[in-house]
Amino acid sequence: MEYMKGCKDNQFDLAIVDPPYGIGASEMTMGSGKHKFTKGKRWDSQLPNGEYFDELFRVSNNQIIWGGNYFSAYLKPTPHWAVWDKLNPNLSFAEGELAWINKGKNLRIFKHYSAIADTYGGKIHPTSKPVKLYEWLLQNYAKEGQTILDTHLGSGSIAIACDKMGFDLVGCEIDEDYYNGAMKRLKEHQSQMRLF
């Protein structure tokens, strides 16, 4: 919030964000046991308030908001949704996730196994999303030369996707462990790219 308050109106072409859903995900095992960066963290204990969404809409022209189904009090109805089908049927946790999109291509589905098998340092955040998911979003909803905002960087998957595809990204993360883990993943990606 502090960062966005200092931004100009429409400073970013596109915001791709994954704010807390308020479902206590930081306390869940997500089917694979506790993650090393989860202990004692309660970042998902409540939803962002209306002020967050007001600022997000002010500083960005377009938005993709993961967990949009949890934020119906703050988001207008839209036919433009993205679905991440995790290809994990019949599990105790969600088989997919929804992203609210203010304008785009009606409902679209991206099928990719959960982020546990993702590259670049493995899973460091209990709700991380795959790099390929962010690549797909950028291919379908961003244009060359646009500037991207992520207010909840988490594991940094979007940073890797933006780096691979040449997008400028501003990412915010207040948790030092998650930030350090995300930067480690990004550096691993960049060092691999230099090898090739």
Q: pLDDT tens-digit profile of 129-171?
A: 899 999 999 999 999 999 999 999 999 999 999 999 999 999 9
Count: domains in the chain: 1
Of the candidates 159, 155, 160, 189, which has an alpha carbon nearest to the alpha carbon of residue 175? 155
Which range marks the domain in which residue 175 is found? Answer: 2-195
CB 84 within 8 A of CB 60: no
Look-up of token digits 């791709």: 16
CATH number at residue 27: 3.40.50.150
- Cα distances (angstroms) measured from residue 59 to each of 14, 95, 110, 144, 171: 9, 32, 27, 19, 14
Look-up of token digits 């982020």: 115
pTM (predicted TM-score): 0.86
Q: DSSP of 68-98, one letter per residue?
A: GGG-TTTS---S-EEEEE-S-TT-SS-SEEE
Q: pLDDT tens-digit profile of 17-58?
A: 999 887 665 555 554 544 454 555 666 567 899 999 999 999
- Cα distances (angstroms) measured from residue 138 to each of 45, 123, 191: 29, 21, 22
Of the candidates 5, 159, 141, which has an alpha carbon nearest to the alpha carbon of residue 65? 141
Sheet hosting strand 96-101, strand order edge to edge: 108-111, 81-85, 96-101, 60-66, 12-17, 147-150, 168-171
